[in-house]
Structure 1
Amino acid sequence: MNRIILIGNGFDLAHGLKTSYRDFIDDYWKTFIEEARKNGSSYEDDYVSFKTNTKTLAHIISGDTNNLKLLEKDIEHFKSGIWGGNGTTIELSFKNSFLEQISKHVSDKSWVDIENEYYEFLKKSNHGQIEILNEEFKAIEQLLEKHLLKIQNGSEIVTSIFSPIRSKIYSLIFSRDLSKEDSFIYEIESDLEELDDSNIRELDGILEDCKNIYNEMKTSSIDVKQFISNYQKEADLDSESGIDYIEEKISNNTIPDYFMLPKEILFLNFNYTHTQEKYISDKQFIQTIHIHGELNNPKNPIIFGYGDELAEDYKQIENLNDNEYLKNVKSIRYLETDNYRKMLSFIESEPYQIFIMGHSCGNSDRTLLNTLFEHKNCVSIKPFFHQREDGSNNYNEIVQNISRNFTNKAAMRERVVNKTYCERLT
């Protein structure tokens, strides 16, 4: 059985990287305000213009102002003060309407999902507006990539969480987490049937390699060889006896750890960063797919847009017969590289369990997640939740989002691991 680790933005945030959309917007305004203070009575960049006909911008901006909400308060305060009369003008204007929308969303609600905001704008846009929206969205994408490069190259990663996260990534497979325990048992049986004398002689070296990766593994080659011998005796009687023997050992937790390890691990990274590389110790057993691209890599450009083809209004967008509306559809952008095909090849190869680490499972990735979650080889979906300071956690929110990615709700209830058996990420 294989394991897929879904890496989302929460994974980077847990490592102390300021990579959320709110961090991005806040950083833009902090930088803009710092530059405005230095530039007399006017300052502008490619997105915003700020100017006054009196004093300087530094006179308007308070010392602790570092975001749009505080800047707008400063402007109102200045206008109502002694300098506000006598024809004084202060103008803060946006050259990029989409930046204005997402900035005000952060000001009003303290968070924003840029990809969902884009999709909402898209649905309301006519042809002329959609071209402008796409140009503005592309500009935001480029600005975001610059921000993330700065964070990736200039931030220290929190190392204290390496050990607990690593132990989860390389943990044993627990039968209680699986919706199809029978398939796991038959898979073990198949592996046992394929063993021959040469494989068994190589077990010492194989187990040593495994122990270097899977720290929790305590099995010795003696344990494994004894299990194989006992299984073969049972299987020689009849195949059902062999199956019963495996099932018994799993149920009473006496099966050697070696048989409870994932064969391969795939890091399916939805971020543009490379934080997961801190946990890769042996590339022989591990693959990484940057499904949404990588920073500063023209061969794997970042994919930024919307990915909910299951939405009721998506069909209406397709029926407009205007390609401008489909410019930022993720499933179309996936065809620019072979990443999606590699993912499909992995999930087709054999049964797999999914570990969710920092991914909200929101609608902006719904098409891809539906493919992963409802595939016949998916036997388990295990969310690792965020524990808040007040003692609450986001397990229920993750599961609610997961449910939206299923059209088959019975399969969802079978595959999602219940909270009793789930853990916090850090």
Structure 2
Amino acid sequence: MNRLILIGNGFDLAHGLKTSFNDFIDYYVSEFLNLYNDYEDNKLSENIFIKKGLISYDFIKSVQIAIQNLRNLFAHLQQNTDEIKTFDELFDKEFHDRLDNNLSFIDNIKHPTDQINDHYPSDENKKAEDNVAKILELIKSSKSSNNVLSDLYYISSSVYNYYTLNQIDNKPCLKQCDESLLFTKNKLFEKIFYNYNFNKNWGGIEHEFYQTLLDVEEFYREEKILDKIDKLNKEFENIIDCFIYYMTSVVSKQETKILSKIAKHLMQPVNDDELSTQFRDRIGQQPIVIKEHMFLSFNYTNTIEKYIAQSSVNVEEKHVQIHGRLEDSASKIIFGYGDELDSSYKELEDKNDNRYLKYLKSLHYLDTDNYQKLLDFLEQNKYQVYIWGHSCATSDRVLLQTIFEHENCVSIKPFYYQDEKGNDNFEDLYKNISRHFTDKNKLRDLVVNKKYCEPLT
């Protein structure tokens, strides 16, 4: 039999690459501030942000310091997640004692002297400081059932918006800033950014695009009817351009090394307990020999190639990057939605307008022979699936269902993520896998019991 190894973004993250959506957003927050410093065009000014010369250098530096101090705050919170669950707990009586050093950003933001003196009359100085107090009150009164870290990240950008935008009409409300983002010319990016949280992955971004596509007429209310879908597609294209720019200018320059534990996974035999009941009964006591590995990568990086080059296993090995490579032109990169089974998808087909299908992944699988290589692999022999760092989100549903429900699939073994405290994502991963099955009995027969699974690293 063969083994199909699905490579997702978690695989790159395990190797220290800055490929998470958090890394991408963090980079662009920093680049946005730099944009105002150097006044040179880059991918941001071209695709995402409007460059304005309204902000003083000292003010920008104060915001940069604030964000750095927020990062320090995040680090503290991440190490003490058991202590802090909600905003009520975050702003308890011990808050200032516990985090006073990391909250110096309040002083930095409160006194952007050059900004105030240059752009506001002297009688506005007190008003600016009062606004900071209002911001703090808004923060303290916020309620959050989600990750407190994502809310704090939102606050860092909102403080910036408040000063650059809200000073004009003096509306003391962070949320109102969202609807008048003068520095953002990409409305889709704005929506993604302000719906951002620390748990969001790339599949979540593709899902965000898909949901916007279904509601495009309402989303672009100010646009002419015939222009709405073109605008959405163009804005998504610009985000993809920025993503490729980030990957090629930042991620591709990072070095990786082989992790011994992952290398050992490749040498594991197939145990009887990992096989479907039907297949196990058929083979009886016959030894199982793996004849071929196919590494089906959903990433644009080539991290897995080091393992292939130094592999000591005596099997044929193939590498297919189903969504393209960073070395490819932007037109060959596949990024979009891939859930044709969603109940709303037929609405898009029924519009009889191909613009709504521009970023349907399955249509672009025909641009190369990668998909055919996968189909040939699935047909030639029984196979076991390894899942390495793939979330199995519905953004790849059509492809994953083809793999999981194929008659030759006899085992699905997830390698889950486990943090330093022993918490893992096996249950979430299993739930995600379940969404790709129409036959739930087959699901339970194929997915390997957690007892016989292990963390990727």
Per the normalisation by structure 1, the TM-score is 0.75
Give the structure 1 partner of residue 210 of structure 2: 119
Deviations 1:314-359 (A, max 9, x none): 1121111110110010110101111101100000001000000000
Distance (Å, rounded) in 2 between the aligned partners of 1:292 and 1:91: 33
Give the structure 1 partner of residue 272 of structure 2: 175
1:143 paired to 2:247: no
Give the structure 1 partner of residue 37 of structure 2: 37
Distance (Å, rounded) in 1 between the aligned partners of 2:344 and 2:400: 19
Give the structure 1 partner of residue 90 of structure 2: none
Secondary structure of 1:51's counterpart equals: coil
Would the alpha carbon gap of residues 164 and 302 (structure 1) be closer, same or farther in structure 2, given more than 3 Å must change? same
Would the alpha carbon gap of residues 133 and 57 (structure 1) be closer, same or farther in structure 2, given more than 3 Å must change? farther
| Structure 1 position 381, deviation (Å) | 0.3
- Larger displacement relative to structure 2 (22-31 or 354-363): 22-31
Secondary structure of 1:93's counterpart equals: coil
Would the alpha carbon gap of residues 278 and 80 (structure 1) be closer, same or farther in structure 2, given more than 3 Å must change? same
Equivalent pairs counted in the alignment come to 345
Give the structure 2 partner of residue 99 of structure 1: 189
If you compute each CA radius of gyration, which structure gives the higher value, 1 or 2? 1
| Structure 1 position 183, deviation (Å) | 6.3
Distance (Å, rounded) in 2 between the aligned partners of 1:299 and 1:141: 8
Unmatched 5+ residue regions in structure 2?
Answer: 68-152, 171-179, 218-225
Distance (Å, rounded) in 2 between the aligned partners of 1:138 and 1:120: 16
- The amino acid of 1:62's aligned partner reads V
Would the alpha carbon gap of residues 182 and 133 (structure 1) be closer, same or farther in structure 2, given more than 3 Å must change? closer
Give the structure 2 partner of residue 47 of structure 1: 48
Deviations 1:127-177 (A, max 9, x none): 5311111011011111111111223431132x3x61100111221111110
Give the structure 1 partner of residue 7 of structure 2: 7
- The amino acid of 1:3's aligned partner reads R
Per the normalisation by structure 2, the TM-score is 0.70
- Runs of 4+ residues deviating >6 angstroms: 78-81
1:72 paired to 2:158: yes
Secondary structure of 2:229's counterpart equals: helix
Give the structure 1 partner of residue 133 of structure 2: none
Give the structure 1 partner of residue 349 of structure 2: 318
Unmatched 5+ residue regions in structure 1?
Answer: 85-89, 187-245, 251-258
Q: Is the 8 A contact 2:293 2:315 kept in 1?
A: no
Deviations 1:230-257 (A, max 9, x none): xxxxxxxxxxxxxxxx62xx6xxxxxxx
| Structure 1 position 390, deviation (Å) | 2.4
| Structure 1 position 79, deviation (Å) | 7.9
- The amino acid of 1:260's aligned partner reads I
Would the alpha carbon gap of residues 156 and 69 (structure 1) be closer, same or farther in structure 2, given more than 3 Å must change? farther
Q: Is the 8 A contact 1:17 1:151 kept in 2?
A: no
Q: Is the 8 A contact 2:279 2:410 kept in 1?
A: no
Secondary structure of 1:380's counterpart equals: strand
Distance (Å, rounded) in 1 between the aligned partners of 2:441 and 2:260: 35
Give the structure 1 partner of residue 390 of structure 2: 359
Would the alpha carbon gap of residues 300 and 120 (structure 1) be closer, same or farther in structure 2, given more than 3 Å must change? closer
Distance (Å, rounded) in 2 between the aligned partners of 1:279 and 1:164: 12
- The amino acid of 1:278's aligned partner reads K
Distance (Å, rounded) in 2 between the aligned partners of 1:75 and 1:350: 57
Give the structure 2 partner of residue 285 of structure 1: 316
- The amino acid of 1:51's aligned partner reads K
Q: Is the 8 A contact 2:47 2:239 kept in 1?
A: no
| Structure 1 position 386, deviation (Å) | 0.3
Give the structure 2 partner of residue 261 of structure 1: 289
